[in-house]
Amino acid sequence: MKMIARWLLLSAALMLLTQWDSGIEVRNYGSAMLAAAVIGLLNAFVRPLLILLTLPVTVLTLGLFLFVINALTFQMASSLLAGFQVHGFWQALLGSVLYSLCSIVIDAALERSFGPRGGLPLI
């Protein structure tokens, strides 16, 4: 239940990003749902590989290179989907930072609503 709520809210956050950043386009809410799922899968499977491969650069930049990795995964999702477009690296960087901030807020709200186990509260 918590995972579905998170997915739907992150899709809405992605739609909201199109209002803040003109370099990000989402065709409709269905495309946003698909994009949120693809971004989640890329963050789960591809991002750890990129972090491992770029570990020396990440250490040298004191972790700031992780922003570049986030932007690359955001652009990668854009290249995989027709209904989700990111126009340029700087828009991907800004979009990934804003999307991450939305994700943090959504996770905190869901943790408060559903509790640590993800189920509905008993009271």
Per residue in 97-120, pLDDT tens? 999 999 999 999 998 887 766 555
Q: What whole-number distance in Å separates Cα of residue 32 and Cα of residue 15?
A: 6
pLDDT at 121: 53
Counting every residue written for the chain, the total comes to 123
Q: Whole-prediction pTM value?
A: 0.87
45 has pLDDT over 90: yes
- CA geometry: angle 24, 28, 30, nearest 5 deg: 115
* 122 confidence band (pLDDT: 50, 70, 90): very low
The answer to whether 83 and 35 are in contact (CB under 8 A) is yes
